[in-house]
Chain A
Amino acid sequence: MDELSRILGSVVANATPLVIASIGETITERVGVINLSLDGSITLAAMLSFVVAYSTGSAAAGLLAGMLAGMLIALLIVVASIELRQDQVAVGFVLTMLAADLAQFLGQNYTRRPGPTFPTVPVPLLAEVPFLGNFLFNHNILIYFSFLLLFATWYVMYRTRWGLALRAVGERPATAFARGTNVNRTRYLYAALGGALVGLAGASYSLAIKAGWANPPVMRGDGWIALAIVIFGGWHPVRVAFGAYLFAGLRILASTIQQTTDFPLVLVNAVPWVLMILTLLMVSSGAVDWLMRFTPRRLRWVVRLLALFGVRGQEETAASRTPGRLRRVLRNFLRSDPPGALGSTFSRE
């Protein structure tokens, strides 16, 4: 029991950067902007956070530097898209490459040194609770922040006027404009916020979860995984976070198996990428129906269960039969269509 609690605790810790980054990207994409640069942004933010923290002796200063870097990169994409009408994906891809190289170049004199980190801060009383203590309440402050972030994002998005404006801008900008929302300003605002969170995710590697800076960087590739998790999570913050935890859990499971059997380590490294392809296949339209067709009737409930997170087609009609409030909640939670105006620009006439 205690062992399980500790393992779950480490899943939560390891998932934290993914949770923060993918929620940041969810916010960004929900206003209609694709920040493809995550893999580079996270790396650059991790490096800058470490270097600033190392030079100033303050982990908090490092954190701010990382967030600033993430924010600036996101803003660059929005400026290129809104003001200069350039393709978000193209600019994002270039920034992915550039930021990663920049991190390696600027961080070359700071590799493999000990630096300031965020210490573990057990929550008084709660940390003593059996099972839940080690699972949820014996972590560093960034991990607690990720819990708060998850709840706050969901609350703002679905329960406040800000959230209505945020979702409307990404879904149908013409409507948002007609209702008095400044579409471009909203995009700047939330893309910057999302970018800052991506930067925070980078900082949470180098200042807490995988402390320090190394070459090649340990977090390379995770940005792409965070991007895939956003799709997997259907652009809903709670599902997205669930995806991040699931991913981190499976990763830890794979490496545990590797330690106890003679399963080759290199193949364990393949797990995240195989998972990425499989999950994206799952959420894409048609995949569920296709699987159903080739599954024996008795086993179809398994597919349905798996499909809970990628519902389209058949499941959708099942959901539409459920009446009233439950149906609305289900539909809103289970929809996996991208925001209607994702990647496009808005002009008044």
Chain B
Amino acid sequence: MSVEVRNIHKRFGPVHANNAISLHFEDGRIYGILGENGAGKSTLMKILSGFYLADSGQILVDGRAVSVASPEGAIRAGIGMLQQDPLDVGPFTVLENFIYGQPGAVRPDWDGARAQFVDLAGRLGFTISPNTLIEDLSIAQRQQLEIIRLLAFGVRLLILDEPTTGISAEQKTILFEALKRLAREDGLTVLFVSHKLEDVLELCDEVAVLRLGRLVGQAHLPVTTNALVAMMFGQELAPASRSDVVLGDSMLEVRELSLTSERVTIQGCNLSVRAGEVIGLAGLDGSGQELLTRAIVGLRRPAAGQVCVGGQDLTGKHYREYLAARVCFGAAGRLEEGLVSGLTLTEHFALVDPEQGAWIDWERARRIASEQIAHYNIYGRPESPIETLSGGNQQRVLMALMAAAPRLLVLEHPTRGLDVESSRWIWEQILARRAEGTAVVFTSADLDEIVTYSDRILVFYAGQISEVPDARRTTVDELGHLIGGQRLTKESVA
């Protein structure tokens, strides 16, 4: 089945997310769709798979124009998309999730569906039990389930949106093997959306590059990485320089810390972070990084062990005492954890200003808001409600709200969902504070980010923590293997 998009346009308010995009996909081939965050690749794929409606343009399947008005309609036309966060239902079993959406009688043929599922899974080399609950699966397994499900529908064009984010190296190998087999043996067309060059180079036959809503280049692989980079960014980016900072006193001491959640358990974790150090926490989602970040800011009570900040024992103390000890925390979900939707920028600054007395000096609050807006280059006004700002600007506000010169700065996914420019800017801010003697601990799913900025790297695997021996010389590849659980020695972290 060949699929073609012709002259697709899509606008979101003022943003022209897809601008006159035309592409042609042949069967049996794997296409990489490359582009930075915000380049418009996800939008194009969502149009192709019926989640969005294009403002104008055509989709043709085998030369005939088809109307793809809903995901269901797309599947009927043979196009299926695997979302980055797979669209399934947590409390369902795998089998229920497999059946839901398939046409058929009110009372499904459970045994038949089970047989079909086991058969398809076996053919692709996936191992998932049909009785497991979705919420007990890893992201990689949920992706596998989605692929099986879409294939059962007879999908001929399979779209995968950033599928290698948050899965291990082994799981990636399994996924790539399955995709290659589907293309070579079954003649499926695969669209692989990614911003990771190495993945695209490893898997794809052809590549299309999007930048700022336009198609800027197409190529048959192999090509050089540099050529792709030039297409993606318009120019080559210089890597952020890493300056050496003189380490100061110990800011954070974690001793024999044990943490438990319903999913993971961390036992006997030891960690010492000195002023001016940047510690990167790598690992798959839910491997225990979040337990640690939340424990060292006082949001999770440890089962055992000690947390000291600047020599002060804060074990089991409330989050507010950590704040008072100048520990700053930036959570992953900005509008859920950190910013108050419905409050203006001025109100946010008034809320955290330690100089404000019982009666708020609104004059002062407005002045500080204006200053911070200018200083942090925030696109917004003092009286703008925070939820009207874009993600990058919200992250800037979050940085601006943090106390000056913190002892310890703990950040979860500080640049998730931001474009390159904003990400670099955020890191400039973090590194500036580090130069003034702040100890930094951060998590990220982006291994490049971890490798680029960390002085030391801790790798989490199912609650076990190991330290990368020479963080400054490690590579994304090496880290990827560690994250997948390879070569893991249960060594305590010094």
Contact = CB atoms under 8 A, between A and B. Distances in A.
A317 B52 CA distance: 41
Interface in A304-346: 313, 316-317, 320, 324-325, 328, 331-332, 335, 337, 340
B480 to A, nearest CB: 29
Nearest to A170: B89
Interface in A180-238: 180-181
* Of listed B92, B101, B131, residue having the most chain A CB within 10 A: B101
B262 A316 contact: yes
Interface string B92-105: 11001001110011
Contacts of B51: 178
Contacts of A147: none
A298 interface: no
A179 B93 contact: no
B248 interface: no
B418 to A, nearest CB: 21
B89 A180 contact: no
A164 interface: yes
Interface residues of A, number: 30
Interface in B73-94: 75, 87-93
Interface in A137-166: 159-162, 164-165
Contacts of B52: 349
B72 A168 contact: no
B131 A324 contact: yes
Contacts of B91: 167, 171, 332, 335, 337
Name the residue in A178, A180, A316 with the highest tally of chain B Cβ atoms < 10 Å from its Cβ: A178
A102 B108 CA distance: 45
A325 B131 contact: yes
Contacts of B19: none
Given A168-B100, A180-B72, A160 B90 contact: no
A252 interface: no
A179 B131 contact: no
A165 B100 CA distance: 7
Interface string B126-150: 0000011100100000000000000
B358 interface: no
B131 A161 contact: no
Contact of B92 (A159, A167, A177): A167
A178 B93 contact: no
A177 B131 CA distance: 24
B106 A328 contact: no
A161 B106 contact: yes
B71 A167 contact: no
B106 A178 contact: no
Contacts of B262: 313, 316-317
A331 B262 CA distance: 13
Main SS class of interface, B = loop
B96 to A, nearest CB: 6
B70 interface: yes
A159 B110 CA distance: 9
Contacts of A175: 87-89
A160 B92 contact: no
Interface string B27-68: 000000000000000000000000110000000000000000
Given A159-B107, A331-B133, A172 B93 contact: no
A179 B100 contact: yes
Contact of A180 (B70, B105, B131): B70
A179 to B, nearest CB: 3
Nearest to B81: A178
Contacts of B71: 177-180
Contacts of B101: 178-181
A160 B106 contact: yes
A246 interface: no
A109 B68 CA distance: 59
Contacts of B99: 161, 164
Contacts of A328: 93, 131-133
Given A161-B100, A165-B100, A180-B70, A172 B107 contact: no
A174 interface: yes
Contacts of B108: 160-161
B458 to A, nearest CB: 26
Contact of A167 (B70, B72, B89, B131): B89
B491 to A, nearest CB: 27
A179 B72 contact: yes
Contacts of B75: 180
A316 B133 CA distance: 14
In this complex, the member of A171, A328, A335 whose beta carbon has the largest number of chain B beta carbons within 10 angstroms is A328
Nearest to B104: A161
Which 10 interchain pairs have the tightest Cβ spacing?
A179-B101, A180-B72, A164-B100, A178-B71, A175-B87, A178-B87, A168-B89, A171-B89, A160-B106, A172-B89
19 contacts: A160-B108, A167-B91, A168-B92, A171-B89, A171-B90, A171-B91, A172-B88, A177-B71, A178-B71, A179-B101, A180-B70, A180-B71, A180-B75, A181-B101, A325-B131, A328-B93, A332-B91, A335-B91, A340-B90
